[in-house]
Amino acid sequence: MRLDGSNFKNFTKRCKKPFDERITYSLLNTGKDLLAETNACTAFVQSDEISLIFKGVDPFYGVQTKYGGRISKLASTTASFAAARFNYYLNLYNWEDQNIHMTQGFGNFDCRLFNVPSNKELIDVVMWRHQYECRRNTIAMMALSEYGKKSIHEVSTITLLDRLIGTYGSFENLLQRFHPIHFYGAFIKKEQFKIQGYNPKTNEEFDDVIRTRVAHRCFDLTPEFPNAEDFLTKKYWDETDLTNLQPPSEFERPNISTFESRSRRRANHYE
């Protein structure tokens, strides 16, 4: 299930460039609320879109999806919920520097649903949004902010990246301009954690009470990621999956073309 901001180009026209943290974090928190509301396994947030991933179910074993799997019902209710939460979070910020429409509930989403035949297809679709769409959008936004619309028209992503690196002196300097969420997007899952419990009736305290919360991580999900296919359909964060990940602060220049042809071909099938 993927939700896209409807006409966000005009909606965010007067926002800070290249990125407005108020939009970024409103969208991130909306993704967290969607994960909790829909009981998806994983949500992925990048640019103005939110992807929700659900584990496949077999109706022959008595497992049913919400609303009996009715596509129109699922799409309409999810899009309306996303719009309500997104506008709620927008209203928590100060928008005195903007037109009043940012606090008038005009942020809305469209929603589409599709299925894939296997976890392998799933990882290809997500990889395209994460590895290429997210980074391409980030590079394009930064280049637009630096050089203007005419200067970047019909210029390739690689050329824009090289131009930005030349402007800032190094790729590392360039990366200081944005949060990892802009380059990697954010993966969202539920996580379990322990707290100290308390029984008010007996006044007893006890350890290792397990609670659940929704949390996000920003990292590079590469094709070599261990058990990448299973990772997307797991319900909870498993920190052992993340122990070998490169920290977001230690970037390397991305290879935009790697893995592109197969991933793009399959991802476009589900557009």
pLDDT tens for residues 19-64? 999 999 999 999 999 999 998 999 999 999 999 999 887 666 666 7
pLDDT band at residue 172 using 50, 70 and 90 as cut-offs: confident
User: What is the pTM assigned to this prediction?
Assistant: 0.84
d(CA 16, CA 177): 13
Among 26-30, 36-40, 152-156, 228-232, the range scoring the smallest mean pLDDT is 228-232
Q: What is the pLDDT of residues 131-147, one digit of tens each?
A: 889 989 999 999 999 99
Instruction: Tell me how far apart the alpha carbons of residues 184 and 179 are, in angstroms, rounded to a whole number.
Output: 9
Average pLDDT (143-154) is 91
Q: Which of 177, 142, 172, 178 shows the shortest CA–CA distance to 250?
A: 172
Superfamily of domain 1-116+181-270: tRNA(His) guanylyltransferase (Thg1) (3.30.70.3000)
Q: How large is the average pLDDT for residues 120-130?
A: 91
Answer for the pair 88, 82: CB distance below 8 angstroms, yes or no: no
Q: Does position 129 have pLDDT exceeding 80, yes or no?
A: yes
User: Residue 80 phi/psi, 5° resolution?
Assistant: -70, -40
Name the token pair of 114. Answer: 């599709």
Q: How many CB atoms sit inside 10 A of residue 165's CB?
A: 15
Domain residue extents for the chain: 1-116+181-270
Residue 194 clears pLDDT 90, i.e. is over it: no
Instruction: Name the percent of the chain lying above pLDDT 70.
Output: 85
